[in-house]
A and B are shown apart, each in its own frame.
Chain A
Amino acid sequence: VRLNDSRRELLVAGLAIVLIGSGIVVGAAGPTAVDVARPTADRLFVERAAFCPAAPAETNARMQVVAGPATDQPLLVDVDQDDGPATSLERNILALEPGGHEALSIIGFGGTVSAAIGQAFLVPFDALAAGNCIPDAGTRWYFPYGSSAFGFNERLVLYNPFPDEAVVRVSFLMKDVRETKSSLAEVPVPSGEVVSLKLNEYLLQERILGVEIAASRGRVAAWKVLFAKVEGLERGAALTPGTGSTSPEWYFPEGLVAKGADTRISVLNPLDEEARVTVSVVGDEKVIQPPALVDVRVAGGTSDQFSLREVLEGETPGPVSVIVRSTNGVGVVAESSVWYDGDYEGFTSEIGAPLPETRWSLGSPGIKLDGDAVVLLNVGQEPAVFDISLRTTAGEPIRHERLSDLHIPAGARLRVSLDRFLETQPTIAFVEASAPVVAERVGYSRRYEDTATIMGMPLGR
């Protein structure tokens, strides 16, 4: 085809337009580039430790640590402070009774280890406490509930499992103010050692005493041990592992509001922004929303405390679960402290679970128990079916028909007694549910006349 110059130029211009148009069409009609998943290695190295606290200084306690695999995979467990060989766990668990004043690092090889510790105190008084061993040491820890008022003896237990010294600042978040004592501004925690702080020595007669621990150097694991001997309420002790994160929601399956018993909810707001918090109570029969606990303002850098018995104004729903929600999205930390009086006696305190999960591990809630139960709260919109299995130090896990195919309606709580298995303790209870729930385990010892609770450890990892 013979073309003159103009037509040739038109042809090239057309070609340019076609190319540009093709690009536009490809861009519009072609597949959209998606986020690229980072390639993961096929076989990962699996080795993690769980850190278990020592008893606070100037106390005398018998300790029991239970540790087991968090999955169905076999696990090799080693105790860092122990010279003995590592123990292979298939579906059984490991129970130890270490000395009282040494923290432990329980190391799981080949799988995640789930560990909890029970402490039976003889000094300062007979009391029972239990708590989870902490899987992740960190730089920041919160404890919403605390008190230096008369009758309370609050200790912080700081453990530094890392090779470098840690230095932490302990701040108090009270009703209206955040305060850091100069003597607690730089608390050294040497590598591999435990430091125990008696908070009553630093601040007197503060009824509401939230605590924030911030490491300016290094990392620690932190627990709180609170001995309560308050007039008008049962005495007891509580071991509470700290949490390093805030959340807009906190769930507490276990609670009691009854004559002589009370559940106190403490909310700590470590952030600068004010939080608005609503506390809901889930009874066995109904959900109660105390009007006084709707949109409660918790200023930034403060903490607050609410007694359910007081806000319910004489209403005694008995066993309850509690849900704490931040309605303006500002993350808070919440803790529930329960004084028992009735079948169970004593005192316990736990930081809640921030998320529901389908799988939970619940360590043994104390030593020489006379009562043992798992309490579940279904916070979802659909009923859940769940099984509980008990892993023991020997043999196959206990699966009982009374622990299988249990139903829990949406928004309800359910208490499952494990009393018939008390002889086999120590145990780790595993809850597997069809829908996300929150699980807590509660134990009672007549010998110590005290109750201990352990918040479930989610097994999502």
Chain B
Amino acid sequence: MAMATGTREPDEKTRDAVAIPRILAIVVTHNGRRWLKDCLVSLEAQTYPSMNVLVVDDASTDSNAQPTLKRIVKRHLRRRKWGYLRTPRPLGYGGAINWTLSRVRADVDFLLFLHDDVALEPNAIERLVIAMLEDPRTAIVGPKVVSWDDVDRLEEVGMAADRFGYPYKGLDEGEIDLGQHDNAGETFYVTSTCMLVRPGVFRRLRGWDARLRAFSEDLDLCWRVRLAGHAVRVEPTARVRHAIALARGERSSPFVPARYFIRRNRLRTVFKNVAGLRLLVLVPQFVMLTLAEMIGFILLRQPGEIWNLARALGWNLLRLPQTLAERVRVQKIRKIPDRVLRRHTVRQSTRVRAYVTHQRDRLEEAWGRRAELVATRSKKARIFTGQMKGWLGVAAFLAALALVLGFRDIWWSPQISVGDILPFPDRPGTLWRAYFSPWRGVGLGEAGPMPPALALLGVFPLLTLGAAGAAQKLLILTMGLVAFTGAYRLVTDVVDRSGRFAAGTTYMLGAVGYAGVRQGALGALVFGAAAPFALRSLIRLVGWARPSGWSAGRATARMVLACAISAAFVPGALFLYALAVVVLAGARRILVRGDGGVTAVLRPLAAIVGAWAILLPWSGRWLSEGGPLALLWGDATSAGYAASYRGHDAISVILGQTPEVPPLFGLALPVVGLLAVVIAGGQRRRLALALWTLLGAIALVVASTATGVMRPLVASPTEAGVIASLAFAALVGLAVGAARLDLPRRRLPALRWLTVATFAAASFLALYGLAPALFRGAWTPGAGTALKKDEVVDQVRSLLGSEVSAHPDFRALWVGQAWGTEVPTSATPETDWFLTGPRGQSATDIFERRSGVAAAQFQRVIASVEQGTTDRGGALLGAFNVQYVVVAPGPEAEPWLDQRDLRIVRAAGDYILMENEGRVARAGLYQEFPISVRAVEEADPAVTAAEAELELESLEPNGPNSYYDEDASGPGLVFLAEANHPGWEAKLGGQPLPRVHEGWGNAFELPSDRRGPLAVTFDAPPTHVAWHVWVAVAWIVVVGASFSRRRGSGVVA
């Protein structure tokens, strides 16, 4: 730190000025040598006499350059008392002033804070002082700010802000100053460019918020000044020029990027200053606005800005305790309510207009770039179309025809309801609402976090504008096309177009799609679609292929994304990816001398961890009770999954039979795969060997799982075989590529004949295997299983749906293997029963957790019925709000038909629908504890023998997770048939009711002397929004980084 003062005695003019207020002007400079001289000269030339100047160098990096800053100050402030200080490190504008005032005795009447890129007109300070003295309420006065280069162009005349603290000038871009804004008066805030401040108020408010460093500190200070009951004014007759050097990037600053500091400081400012109740509304809105802006930046192709916004949110989240403490101090000095300040804020519509205007150029630039890009791609598409003429075109046509033929039962059928390919809800936003909801109404109810698969699936109904059937077809079509594209691109770096096409077609028509569709294994389909992209990134990260323009960061981000999408449906996929990392990196290490260091393994492994992280908080519960991995590895449940591996072993994997596929087609894969090793050369041969090693590892895993040597990593052989199937597709691509690229160079006629013969044999096997399957339309959900056809399920769903008007909120129990999954999946565990809402099973039901007391008690009821120990299952099921039971005719239905309190509504050839008339309401008011619930709790149905249920009334649903009754009175008991959770609260007239029960359901006592409106709601935990913000930010960042066009190390890396 350095300090120096001028030694010249005050002149006569100064002595005359003793009676007038004394001012200390503090000029903060940081790398502002270019403008500082003009600033100092303008201060020196001020008509106002009683002013000293203190220049604070905020650790400029050029302060020692010749001439030194101190020398510049001395040279240009010859007529003023001056001082020079230098901060030890950059503290920012406010921080530097705070630091200075803590070291200097400022016994003055007013403080003048100035940027170094400001030049004042000679009478500016005089005008400011007069304005200050006119009104004792005024604590801050700012000047009119004009352009540095053109004094006729306005920059600001006082500032307003919207409710989120976004500044609003109220000026057009480049507006000429004709005096149209020269109305002196109060404003919401003035910028820190130049402001005259009362030191007393400034000190009482504890100065600037030094943590803000740069940007928005002026808004914060003025806001606090206003809250303390003072006024902030603008004096248009005082005019200053401003270069706006920092915001325009004309000077180097440690506080970049600006958008990061702007966003983070605004959020902090709002959080500190807005009144409590309003804050509750504003902060979520602020966050949502930021997320919307992030999406906007995706359109603008500016992923860096997304990262800035994410950082801003994260910074505030981390410093929340400190901000809260600061907020307490600010609110203590509050003298006026927010509604008074609202006069000086702008409406949101004004703000949006201003924002759009501001962003117009950027949008035009971005879309212009986009148009160029589209034009480029169109050109590429024309070239591609030209190249598709010939045998490749014929092959593509045949593949498309095969797709239509084989999948014909999907395209022209009602919504599929097999395994975890379930009907989409009727409304387009239901899946997203379910994802964002803190409480999940599936099964017996469960609290969040919700599986991200809901949000991912939720894209499809939105794309089809709510046409649920079309959404499902689009989903399957998308999976097929994405799988083709992924496999095509997987081998892009090592083979030509023919090889890529062969890989894509083999994969699309291969085992994952075949078994996945037939078994209704949506998880396997999604995993299968994402896996090629993950493996492609992995291959690049490990070093097998690194084309020009390759970016490790982008590859890592893409791997994170592909792994996360896979794991959102098949959590165990991460283990298979990790296995692939180890095998491919290990093989690379052996095959290529000196290649494949630790980074080659760590980076993809980090990507896998990153995938887990961006699935938080849901992924954090994989191992908790009822979680997908807990089910896979649990003592009671793992054997059930292992049993689904029966018939699959190492040989079936190596022979291409795992997952299930037309056998001859599967056999063609290893044949061609071996050919790839034989005829390929160099990198292709090495990669083929590595892929065979990967196949061996998968074979070992499948065999170990099938025999119970190890617990399943994934739920079924279909999921386990995804990587194997992909490896085979890649081998086929390598074989085709090698035949075209390597074989001509190898002068072995026998090898050519071998190649021709092998391809002929493999083609024969593939066609002979595929043709009958295509003819049969074998890609039919539920084909080859005993599961009921979609038409039957659809019919039952319609029947249940028709009851909604009479009974709006009931559960339906579907019993029997015919409805569920023949092969368990990660999203829908092996089960012979499931609970649905009135619309039957839907995509919202995946990853339902059966855990806790409720699930155990319900399972007990099911077991009692199925084992024939009770014939009054209806009463017991009624305790769980089950109104309908759907069973498939046959031996499994017998015990259900024995139930003498279940009424048969419809007995068709394929299903029996039974109605239970004795259910408790989803939310109801009772005289005392519902008897059937008591029977369930005590495992004693005898309690129902003597008494009948006494329900006073049902509560009406009042939005998601909320029930309401206009006028309820005690004594009584409110019972909510949802799994017990402390988040559920009942309030009578706004007063919470005591919870009286900890078993199944939520019960609240209604005292006898109370009456009023009754509301039962689920309150989201405080972390709910924070987690959603995290997920949104994380995904936006990863997506942004994945598709960033910038070269370099990327954001995530």
Contacts and interface: CB of A to CB of B under 8 A. Distances in A.
B277 interface: no
Nearest to B691: A16
A77 to B, nearest CB: 10
Nearest to A164: B903
A155 interface: no
Contacts of B646: 33
A188 to B, nearest CB: 14
Given A15-B696, A36-B640, A161-B900, A23 B870 contact: no
B650 A45 contact: no
A41 B649 contact: no
Contact of B945 (A31, A35, A109): A109
Contact of B902 (A27, A39, A136, A163): A163
Contacts of B696: 15-20, 22-23
Contact of B860 (A11, A43, A112): A43
Given A12-B591, A16-B689, A17-B696, A23 B901 contact: no
A33 B941 contact: no
Contact of B867 (A13, A17, A40, A217): A40
Given A24-B703, A110-B942, A217-B907, A36 B639 contact: yes
Interface stretch (A46-54, A124-132, A254-262, A315-323): A46-54
B1036 interface: no
Interface stretch (B257-265, B398-406, B443-451, B704-712): B704-712
Interface string B861-898: 11110011111100010000000000000000010011
B692 interface: yes
A434 interface: no
B703 A12 contact: no
Given A137-B898, A164-B903, A44 B689 contact: no
Nearest to B693: A16
B649 A24 contact: yes
B925 to A, nearest CB: 25
B643 interface: yes
A48 B692 contact: no
B701 to A, nearest CB: 8
A12 B942 CA distance: 69
Contacts of B861: 45
B985 to A, nearest CB: 31
A16 B856 contact: no
Interface in A26-68: 26-27, 30-36, 38-49
B703 A86 contact: no
Question: Which range holds the interface residue count of chain A?
Answer: 35 or more
Contacts of B940: 45, 109-110
Given A19-B696, A40-B863, A45-B861, A26 B703 contact: yes
A324 B104 CA distance: 116
Contacts of B706: 27, 30, 33
B587 interface: yes
Nearest to A24: B650
A30 B709 contact: yes
A48 B869 contact: yes
Contact of A45 (B649, B704, B860, B902): B860
B580 to A, nearest CB: 13
B693 A44 contact: no
A23 B699 contact: yes
A46 B859 CA distance: 14
A44 B864 contact: yes
Contact of B901 (A42, A86, A163): A163
Contacts of B942: 47, 76, 86, 109-110
B939 A45 contact: yes
A203 B708 CA distance: 64
Contact of A9 (B686, B700, B898, B901): B686
Contacts of A76: 942, 945
Contact of A33 (B654, B707, B902): B707
B856 A41 contact: yes
B844 to A, nearest CB: 26
Interface in B539-574: none
Given A47-B872, A136-B898, A41 B699 contact: no
B365 interface: no
Contacts of B702: 23
Given A8-B590, A20-B654, A45 B677 contact: no
A357 B119 CA distance: 109
Contact of A30 (B690, B708, B897): B708
B860 A44 contact: yes
A24 B692 CA distance: 15
B894 to A, nearest CB: 8
A15 B867 contact: no
A420 interface: no
B458 to A, nearest CB: 33
Interface string A354-391: 00000000000000000000000000000000000000
A163 B703 CA distance: 52
A78 interface: yes
B642 interface: yes
B636 interface: yes
Interface in A64-109: 76, 78, 85-86, 105, 107, 109
Contacts of B864: 41, 44-46
Contacts of B898: 136-138, 219
B863 A46 contact: no
B650 A26 contact: yes
Interface in B801-838: 832
Contacts of A461: 868
Contacts of B945: 76, 78, 86, 107, 109
Interface in A290-337: none
Given A46-B864, A46-B870, A48-B870, A15 B699 contact: no
Interface string B712-743: 00000000000000000000000000000000
A28 to B, nearest CB: 8
Interface in A129-156: 136-139
B239 interface: no
Contacts of A86: 942, 945-946
Interface string B58-79: 0000000000000000000000
Contacts of A22: 650, 696, 700, 703
Contacts of A27: 649-651, 703, 706-707
A283 interface: no
Contact of B689 (A12, A32, A35, A40): A12
B182 interface: no
B966 interface: no
B373 to A, nearest CB: 41
Given A13-B677, A19-B696, A44 B654 contact: no
B645 interface: yes
Nearest to A20: B696
Interface string B892-924: 001001101111110100000000010000000
A218 interface: yes
Which one of B640, B689, B704, B876 has the greatest number of beta carbons of chain A within 10 Å? B689
Interface in B627-670: 636-637, 639-640, 642-643, 645-646, 649-651, 653-654
B230 interface: no
A44 B692 contact: no
Which one of A34, A39, A45 has the greatest number of beta carbons of chain B within 10 Å? A45
Nearest to A45: B864
A30 B707 contact: yes
Contacts of A85: 946
B761 to A, nearest CB: 21
| The 5 nearest A-B residue pairs measured at CB | A23-B650, A19-B696, A30-B707, A27-B649, A41-B860
Given A16-B693, A23-B700, A43-B860, 5 more contacts: A9-B685, A12-B590, A19-B697, A26-B707, A33-B642
17 contacts: A15-B696, A20-B650, A23-B654, A23-B700, A26-B707, A27-B703, A27-B706, A27-B707, A33-B643, A45-B860, A76-B945, A86-B946, A162-B903, A162-B904, A163-B900, A163-B901, A219-B898
